[in-house]
Amino acid sequence: MRTLKRILPTAMSESDRQQRLAVLKAGAQFRRIAILLIIAAILSGLLLPACGSASQPNQEPIKLGWIGALSGTNAILGQWDTHGIELVIDEVNALGGVCGGRQLQLVKYDDAADPTKSVALAQKLSIQDQVLMAFATTNSNTALADLPVFAKAQVPQMTQASSADLTAKGSGYIFRYTSVGAVFESTVVDYLVKNGLNKFAIISDSSTYGKGQGDYEQAAIHKNGLASLIRETYNIDDTDFTQQLNRIISTNPQVLLIAGSEIAAGLIAQQARQLGFTGQIAGGPALGTPKFIEMAGGAAEGVIFSSPYIDNTINEQARDFARRYQAKWGYAPEQHGAKGYDGAMIAIEAIKRSCHNLTREELTRQLHATTDFQGLQGQFAYQDNGEGISEAQIGIVKNGQLTVIPN
């Protein structure tokens, strides 16, 4: 008040002085309000963009990794696996993605079933690509090599590889999306023994997969109170098995169990028949594939095998899957495609439950929490060690087709 009074002329009348004083006070009040409004506008201009960006949903794609054989002897495994996985991912993306519209991106690498190459790719996925999780791999030897890499980076690793060692190493980040190999071998051996066969010979390849399957077959034979007559081995890229088969045939087995990949197994069946073996040829899931039938030719007829999935018409779920798979890829699905499909479905359902905190740690927790997923192979319920299912079917090659043998 004193300041305003000082600037008024002293000769002014009291009434004029009071009127002029009121005008000056109003002007000062207006200027203060104007300054405050300008400051507020400046602050709003600075803060609103930041608030606006924070409220926008994250539209970055969610990266998922895949490592497997897309070249070499086991290339067909990579094709089947990725076709099952990509069917799911493409359909989910077409429907708008997950977690508020985010698309799924599959980062794929071919390891040609080479452990050294696979480890380098696992490191790349974990560190450079920053994937949320990985499907790795199609082969037991590479899956085992990658295991410590993904565990250290805390990347959930889903696999269809069959080795029991994968879930026996204590990693909390491994999840198998099919049954362990021992389930398939014990199922087929038990079936054969129950049908009166008790003289077994084994031929297995030298890879982690082949050695494991041969060991499971031997254990199943022993569990039935028997012993294998002979066990022969071969290298995964071999094409001539004459020497091993002649030694096997000389022991007069009723059953020849083959523990190896589709291509070699088909050649072994063919050569065994050519050398005069007339007994039962049998084995695990590799013998229950179109590739085995292609390689074995007529020798595939009557072969008995165990498999996680055989019949595309067994129920409505299988029929629907087969229809969509055929439409996308141009050929009917088999067990590996079904396994890949189940694995991708399990992963995406866990991702959806993790949207509130989409981290590797939370996704790992949600995968472990999967206890009631109905897949093509059966009911999945994950244990602490990463095993989710323990089921197998028995099948036979009949008229050149994979056919389920009823219970």
Given a cut of 80, is residue 115 above it in pLDDT?
Answer: yes
Q: Are 301 and 280 in contact (CB under 8 A)?
A: no
Residue 311 has pLDDT above 60, yes or no: yes
Q: Residue 368 and residue 378: Cα distance in Å, rounded?
A: 17
* Alpha-carbon gap, residue 396 to 62, rounded angstroms: 41
Residue 20 pLDDT > 80? no
Residue 108 backbone phi and psi in degrees, to 5: -105, 140
Instruction: Note whether 180 and 162 are within 8 A (CB).
Output: yes
Q: What is the spatial distance between Cα 248 and Cα 100, in angstroms, rounded to a whole number?
A: 60
Instruction: Return the CATH fold of 62-179+314-391.
Output: Rossmann fold (3.40.50)
* Paired tokens of 10: 């002293």
**Average pLDDT for 333-340:** 98
Tell me the residue type at 141: N
Q: What is the pLDDT of residue 58?
A: 75
Q: Answer yes or no: is pLDDT of 37 > 90.
A: no
DSSP state of 65: E
Q: Cβ distance 273 to 295 under 8 Å?
A: no
β-strand pairing of 393-398 with 174-176: unpaired
Query: Tokens representing 114?
Result: 């080479």
Three-state helix/strand/coil letters over 228-293: CCEEEEECCCCCCCHHHHHHHHCCCCCEEEEECCHHHHHHHHHHHHHCCCCCEEEECHHHCCHHHH
Q: Judging by beta carbons within 10 Å of its beta carbon (0-12, 13-18, 19+), is residue 13 exposed, middle or buried? A: exposed
pLDDT in tens, 211-266: 999 999 999 999 999 999 999 999 999 999 999 999 999 999 999 999 999 999 99
Indicate whether 29 pLDDT > 90: no
pLDDT of 38 higher than 80: no
Residue 358 has which token pair?
A: 């989409």
Banded pLDDT at 50 (limits 50, 70, 90): very low
Helical packing angle, 335-353 and 75-94, nearest 10° = 40
Average pLDDT taken over every residue of the chain: 90
Q: Is the pLDDT of residue 382 over 70?
A: yes
Residue 105's beta-bridge partner residues?
63
**Same-fold call for 62-179+314-391 versus 182-307:** yes
Residues facing 203 on adjacent strands: 232, 258
pLDDT per position as a tens digit, 58-83: 789 999 999 999 999 999 999 999 99
Comparing C-alpha atoms, which of 191, 145, 190 is closest to residue 169?
145
What amino acid is encoded at 61 in this protein?
Answer: P
Both ends of the chain: CA-CA distance in Å? Answer: 103
- What's domain 182-307's superfamily in CATH? Response regulator (3.40.50.2300)
User: Are 195 and 150 in contact, with CB atoms under 8 Å apart?
Assistant: no
Contact of 260 with 213, CB cutoff 8 Å: yes
Q: What is residue 222's three-state secondary structure? A: helix
Query: Which has the closest alpha carbon to 151: 139, 169, 164?
Result: 169
- Check pLDDT > 70 for residue 155: yes
Q: What is the pLDDT of residue 308?
A: 97
Q: Where are the chain's structural domains?
A: 2-55, 62-179+314-391, 182-307
pLDDT for the residue numbered 245: 98
Cα dist. 148→64, 116, 118, 123, 360 in Å? 18, 13, 12, 10, 16
- Tell me the pTM: 0.84
Map tokens 């390849």 to a residue: 205
Mean pLDDT, residues 351-373 = 98
